[in-house]
Every structure is written in C-alpha cells, then in structure tokens.
C-alpha cells in the first residue's frame, strides 16, 4: 500500500480515478503508546488466578 499511485486511469471512461484509501500509519505511534498496547495485550492473554 505504501507504493500505490495517488490516481489511476479508469479502464471504462479513461478519466482519472483518485485513490480513496490511504495506507495505515503503522509507524506513527510513539514508543510509549506501543508499550501500553503490548502490555495490555500481554495481561489480557494471561490467566487470572
């Protein structure tokens, strides 16, 4: 997705078709935010006693 064109030529009318979707911003989060997400996932997967 990061290498997709912003627009393409429509095969039917030969007009310009703009991209409707953007690539996800996977690297946009901070290290702290990812740490909180990882910790939350880890504790959710652990058994409660």
The predicted-structure confidence for 1-49, as pLDDT tens digits, reads as follows 557 788 889 889 999 988 877 666 666 667 787 788 777 777 766 665 5
What pLDDT does residue 47 have? 64
Rounded Cα distance between 43 and 49, Å, is 12
Rounded Cα distance between 4 and 27, Å, is 18
Rounded Cα distance between 33 and 40, Å, is 11
Alpha helices in the chain (DSSP H): 31-45
The rounded Cα 4 to chain-centroid distance in angstroms is: 14
């Amino acid at each position: 997705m990061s290498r997709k064109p912003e627009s393409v030529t429509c095969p039917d009318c030969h007009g310009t078709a703009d991209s409707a979707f953007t690539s996800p911003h996977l690297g946009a989060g901070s290290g702290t935010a990812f740490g909180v997400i990882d910790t939350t996932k880890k504790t959710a997967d652990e058994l409660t006693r």
